[in-house]
């Protein structure tokens, strides 16, 4: 399971998703040339995006094929991404198992 958090520059958790995303063949098989941000997630490692990277990430979410993430996770991802964009010195963390 990959969980999602917004953290400040000093590592404090500012917000977190209630739903995670399960690692499966759909997520693992994303074409990195089409999904450069989501295509780089790893199941057992953390991935951190800054606000400029979050802009690209948020554009990827509506284009995801059905079944890659749940609707709940997609909504939370968009909401937390916007939190990063609206704040200062915030980062979006994908936390692998």
* pLDDT (0 to 100) of residue 18: 96
Reported pTM = 0.94
From residue 70, how far is each of 63, 73, 88 by CA, in Å?
A: 13, 5, 28
pLDDT tens for each residue of the chain, 97 residues long: 999 999 999 999 999 999 999 999 999 999 999 999 999 999 999 999 999 999 999 999 999 999 999 999 999 999 999 999 999 999 999 999 8
Look at the block and give the residue holding tokens 């404090």. Answer: 12
Q: What is the pLDDT of residue 97?
A: 84
Count CA atoms within 13 Å of residue 14 on its CB side: 20
Alpha helices in 11-97 (DSSP H): 25-28, 51-60, 71-86
């Amino acid at each position: 399971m990959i969980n999602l958090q917004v953290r400040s520059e000093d590592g404090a958790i500012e917000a977190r998703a209630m739903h995670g995303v399960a690692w499966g063949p759909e997520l693992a098989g994303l074409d990195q040339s089409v999904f450069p941000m989501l295509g780089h997630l790893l199941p057992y490692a953390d991935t951190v995006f800054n606000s400029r990277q979050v802009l690209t990430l948020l554009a990827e979410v509506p284009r995801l094929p059905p079944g890659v993430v749940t609707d709940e996770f997609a909504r939370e991802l968009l909401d937390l991404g916007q939190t990063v964009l609206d704040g200062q010195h915030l980062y979006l963390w994908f936390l692998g198992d």
